[in-house]
């Protein structure tokens, strides 16, 4: 081995060590645009909400008082990315089977068609219950507004397939209503990364 | 550059070239176009690996449907989608699977050859002339219930 290859090898090993080390002590940031009032920086929080789930139970911030949760936006008759999003949510749900400190919150953005019985049928068809996964409906504007707080897009758009446009993020929220991570629910590798982030948050 | 270095560079290039050619022929995939179309038009629902979603979207692995119908009949399903009465409101009809009017006959053939011979299925291959005939005469194409 000459000097040059030796150096190259050492460099590569070094790089590997650095990147591994970084991963281990990574801390999840608090995401979103902070508010600045009276010189204080207040991190972004999910505001108060009140929705109804597939079992006609009221779901509010208190529902998630002792749990972190993964949120998304979808509708049951969506012909595009929703089945994939739901499938990714389901993968996370099944991965953390038995952990009651991780819940799931799916907001319909099609409140007219997605009645409570329809949300119930959808949940039953993928084999999940409101013990861990809430499919919620509510006031249309409240849902569209809160989507922005989850850094997501949700809006009615007659030109979009199925009549609604929305982004495919899965958003991880901690017990203090802070967004700590998110991923593209249509990309399996990105979902794997979110699973790692959930583990980090569980260890906090 | 020294002679031996030149020689080793050339050798290296040859090895890499040979490897690339060999490698791509190993990877030969007879359904590449069908796979690509499937990912574009179907994988949103049936998933890239064909496993579907619970009771909502059927798993295409060892599909009883593809086994009991002929692969040509399946072409009508892809062209016209699936229309069923809404389980919660029998007066309404829904499309759990949307129609695909924009796909050409050969695109449908490629998709079917892909799903019919992957995911553990052995549905055989499509005869293009027969496919044309079948597609022009799908039963109740306008108002089909599966």
How many domains does the structure of chain A reveal? 1
Q: Is there a contact between B121 and B60 (Cβ–Cβ < 8 Å)?
A: yes
Q: Is there a contact between A183 and A169 (Cβ–Cβ < 8 Å)?
A: yes
Domain boundaries, chain B: 1-30, 31-144
DSSP codes, A78-103 = -SSSHHHHHHHHHHHHHHTTT-TTEE
- Domain containing A119 equals 45-203
In a domain, A165, yes or no: yes
In a domain, A169, yes or no: yes
Report, at the CATH architecture level, how domain B31-144 is classified: Orthogonal Bundle (1.10)
Residues of A in contact with B98 (CB under 8 A): 79
Alpha helices, H only, chain A: 3-24, 82-95, 116-125, 140-149, 188-202
CA-based nearest residue to A28, from A176, A172, A175: A172
pLDDT value for A21: 47
In a domain, A90, yes or no: yes
Beta-carbon contacts below 8 Å between A and B: 37
In a domain, A10, yes or no: no
pLDDT value for B146: 41
What pTM was estimated for this model as a whole? 0.81
pLDDT tens per residue, range B71-102: 878 999 999 998 888 888 888 888 889 899 99
Q: Check pLDDT > 80 for residue B144.
A: no
In a domain, A14, yes or no: no
C-alpha A91/C-alpha A159 separation (Å) is 31
**C-beta atoms of B44 and A83 within 8 A:** yes
CATH of the domain at A123: 3.40.30.10
Q: How confident is the model at residue A147 (pLDDT cuts 50, 70, 90)?
A: very high
SS3 A137: strand
Q: How confident is the model at residue A78 (pLDDT cuts 50, 70, 90)?
A: confident
ipTM exceeds 0.95, yes or no: no
pLDDT tens per residue, range B13-48: 777 666 665 555 555 678 889 999 999 999 989 999
The residues, any chain, with a CB within 8 Å of residue A98's CB and separated by 6 or more, are none
In a domain, A26, yes or no: no
Higher model confidence: residue A113 or residue A7?
A: A113
SS3 A39: coil
C-alpha A43/C-alpha A35 separation (Å) is 6
Which of A125, A162, A168, A191 to probe by mutation at the B interface, max B CB count within 10 Å?
A125
Helix axes B32-41, B105-116, angle to 10 degrees: 100
pLDDT winner (highest mean) among A3-7, A37-41, A70-74, B77-81: A70-74
């Amino acid at each position: 081995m000459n000097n040059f290859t030796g150096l190259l090898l050492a460099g590569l090993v070094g790089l590997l060590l650095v990147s591994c080390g970084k991963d281990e002590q990574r801390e999840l940031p608090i995401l979103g645009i902070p508010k600045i009032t009276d010189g204080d920086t207040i991190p972004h929080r999910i505001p108060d909400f009140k929705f109804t789930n597939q079992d006609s139970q009221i779901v509010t911030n208190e529902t998630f008082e002792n749990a972190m949760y993964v949120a998304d936006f979808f509708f049951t008759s969506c012909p595009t990315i929703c089945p994939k999003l739901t499938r990714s949510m389901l993968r996370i749900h099944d991965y953390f089977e038995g952990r009651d400190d991780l819940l799931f919150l799916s907001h319909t953005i099609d409140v007219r068609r997605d009645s409570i019985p329809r949300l119930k049928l959808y949940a039953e068809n993928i084999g999940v219950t409101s013990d861990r996964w809430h499919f919620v409906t509510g006031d249309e504007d409240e849902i569209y507004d809160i989507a922005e707080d989850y850094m997501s897009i949700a809006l009615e758009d007659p030109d979009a397939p199925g009549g609604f446009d929305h982004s495919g993020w899965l958003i991880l929220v901690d017990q203090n209503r802070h967004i700590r991570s998110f991923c593209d629910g249509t990309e399996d590798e990105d979902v794997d990364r979110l699973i790692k982030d959930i583990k980090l948050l569980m260890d906090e | 550059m020294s002679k031996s270095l030149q020689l080793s560079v050339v050798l290296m290039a040859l090895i890499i070239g040979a490897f690339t050619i060999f490698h791509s022929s190993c990877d030969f995939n007879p359904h590449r176009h069908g796979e690509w179309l499937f990912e574009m038009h179907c994988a949103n629902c049936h998933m890239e690996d064909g496993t579907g979603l619970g009771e909502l979207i059927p798993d295409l692995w060892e599909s009883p449907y593809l086994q009991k119908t002929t692969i040509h009949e399946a072409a009508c399903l892809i062209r016209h989608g699936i229309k069923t009465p809404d389980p919660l409101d029998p007066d309404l009809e829904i499309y759990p699977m949307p129609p695909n009017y924009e796909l050409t006959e050969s695109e449908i053939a490629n998709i079917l050859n892909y799903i019919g011979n992957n995911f553990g299925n052995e549905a055989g291959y499509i005869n293009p002339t027969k496919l044309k005939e079948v597609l022009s005469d799908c039963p109740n194409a306008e108002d089909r219930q599966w």
